[in-house]
A and B are shown apart, each in its own frame.
Chain A
């Protein structure tokens, strides 16, 4: 008898508590359908409440950049919220500066939709699309760097500016994640996108991209990026890259020479040894066509049998040697590891470039 009562009481208790919690959940966590107002009435989206603003926007085909999959660790999904976002959460504060806080900037992945929300989204982000593509070719450039080219299927055309990037959707054990890669193909190649990817051991995005084969289907969103290329033909362009930091500069240089064949441009690229060099022949070919294009590759740790007659040492030293101080109007684009960016920035500042003329992609 005791067993019977024990079991009955336990079962009844558990069922009772479960019912209570289910009812409480449907009453408390039910926010109904909420409206997201974009740019003061420009677009009005009806989304299910209770989810994050980021997923609500993605559901409505507005692709806010985000690299961490909504965990609040990358800080990419900044968005201006005019009303209805609730208070800022401790998870957001490390990413939001004081002036951004005044403007109501929040991380879209941390804002839960609990009521109608008014947001301001830059026109550019509203033009971001989700692209379906197939792998057209993969080329191994060095031991761990691959060039991967995609043919766009739907939409069939991408309109980007030089130096912009896309976010590739890669599968992971926790569901799909997005990883950002600069576009390396020139902007006039509107129905293809090419990426230059270094394999990072254990990296979700680079492992996925390196294992792709011709014909595989890949989805990505884009284009993103705020770099504004100076179109003035008198401006001298200085590109400095290192390691795998090549993609955005290849895009910028080829896009530029298509339009302005006589512009002056310097490309400095730092590698360790000869085995890490890629694209050098392609740039030398380009330099023969455009006399004002100067390409300098430098090796920081050349091997004895490398047979290298070019520059050696860190690339910022070569830059320091070859660029004249105060040489008129200039714009610089850097891409590479943080120590290189720092060193190069210092050299460029010493040469008279102002901070707002120096752009970089750090990784």
Chain B
């Protein structure tokens, strides 16, 4: 069992061990939905919600059902099933209360199901032996960190519309380079807290 305080995990997973910038998880929707800050915030919020709920539920299922019954081999299937169901729920929720966001996110809303950051959070919390509070803090911090990264890049990309990017770097290429530089900056603080 890890004995790091949930607060430390929360802060660390936002800044120093950002799931997107240090583990490079959840890159596809990060690249696709980061053209506008508004959309990025919307997707980020959805990811936070799904990540918190799924880490909490998945932790309970793993610790109280799979472990006692000795069927940990089901872990991947169970984790992804819970995630898929939750994404469906979020999809309905967003469609009902924010149709504009629903259409702006388009295919990437249901694709949160296969956003590897979400599954990654669920899997990492088990390999790191977190308890319930730590897992939830990790889920929340991970989601917040993911949102931070996508909102930052969306802001940069919005500004970049007016800059003269050399032809070979146009589009995704320059975004990957910026992401790399951002990741280096975030990694500069990686040693501060070990989670």
Do residues B99 and A13 form an inter-chain contact, with CB atoms below 8 A?
no
- Nearest Cβ distance between residue A281 and chain B, in whole angstroms? 54
Distance between Cα atoms of A91 and B71 in the complex (Å)? 47
- A29: Cβ under 8 A from any B Cβ: yes
Is B103 on the interface with A (CB-CB < 8 A)? yes
Contact pick for B92, options A6, A17, A24, CB 8 Å: A24
C-alpha spacing A25/B93, complex, angstroms: 9
Q: Residues 69-98 of chain B: 1 if any A CB is under 8 Å from the residue's CB, otherwise 0?
A: 111011001100110010011001101100
In the bound complex, CA of A20 to CA of B82 (Å): 11
In Å, the complex CA distance between A9 and B85 comes to 16
Q: Which of A82-90, A183-191, A238-246 contacts B (4 or more CB under 8 A)?
A: A82-90
CB <8 Å contact, A6 and B71: yes
Q: Does A112 contact B (CB under 8 A)?
A: yes
A28 touches B103 (CB 8 A): no
For B77, the chain A residues whose CB sits under 8 A away are: 10
Assess whether A10 is in contact with B103, with CB atoms less than 8 Å apart.
no
Query: Distance in Å from the Cβ of B58 to the closest Cβ of chain A?
Result: 11
Distance (Å) between the CB of B32 and the closest chain A CB?
A: 14
With A6-B71, A21-B88, A24-B89: A112-B104 Cβ-Cβ less than 8 Å: no
Is the pair A17, B82 in contact by a Cβ cutoff of 8 Å?
yes
Q: How many interface residues does A have (CB within 8 Å)?
A: 21
- Chain B interface size band reads 20 to 34
Pair A5/B103 contact, Cβ less than 8 Å: no
Contact with B along A81-124 (1 / 0, CB 8 A): 00000110111000000000000000000001010000000000
Contact at B71–A86, with CB atoms within 8 Å?
Answer: no
A36 CB → nearest B CB, Å = 18
Check A14 for interface membership: any CB of B closer than 8 A: yes
Question: Would A20 and B104 count as touching, CB distance under 8 A?
Answer: no
Residues of chain A within 8 A (CB-CB) of B93 are: 24, 28
B89 near A21: Cβ-Cβ < 8 Å: yes
Are the C-beta atoms of A86 and B92 separated by less than 8 Å? no
Could you tell me if A112 and B99 are in contact, using CB atoms closer than 8 angstroms? Answer: yes
Q: Which of A1-55 contact B (CB under 8 A)?
A: 2, 5-6, 9-10, 13-14, 17, 20-21, 24-25, 28-29
**CB within 8 Å for A29 and B92 given contacts A9-B71, A90-B103:** yes
Residue contact A89 to B99, C-beta cutoff 8 Å: yes
- Measured between beta carbons, the chain B residues less than 8 angstroms from A21 are 85, 88-89
Say yes or no: is B65 at the interface (Cβ < 8 Å to chain A).
yes
The CA-CA distance from A17 to B77 in the complex, in Å, is: 13
Q: How long is the Cα–Cα vector from A73 to B75 in the complex, in angstroms?
A: 44
CB of B85 within 8 A of CB of A5, answer no
Identify the closest chain B residue to A29 (Cβ).
Answer: B92
> Distance in Å from the Cβ of B65 to the closest Cβ of chain A?
6
Instruction: Give Cα distance in the complex from A86 to B78, angstroms.
Output: 38
Residue B66 is within 8 A (CB to CB) of chain A in the complex: yes
Which residues of A sit under 8 angstroms from B103, Cβ to Cβ? 89-91
Q: Cβ of A17 and Cβ of B85 under 8 Å apart?
A: yes
Q: Known contacts A6-B73, A13-B61, A89-B99; can you find 6 more A-B pairs with CB under 8 A?
A: A2-B70, A2-B71, A5-B70, A13-B78, A21-B89, A87-B100
Top 3 nearest A-B pairs by Cβ distance?
Answer: A17-B85, A5-B69, A28-B92
What would 13 A/B residue contacts be, using CB atoms closer than 8 Å?
A: A2-B70, A5-B70, A6-B74, A9-B66, A9-B71, A9-B74, A10-B78, A13-B81, A14-B81, A24-B93, A28-B95, A90-B104, A114-B96
- Chain A residues engaging chain B, CB cutoff 8 angstroms: 2, 5-6, 9-10, 13-14, 17, 20-21, 24-25, 28-29, 86-87, 89-91, 112, 114
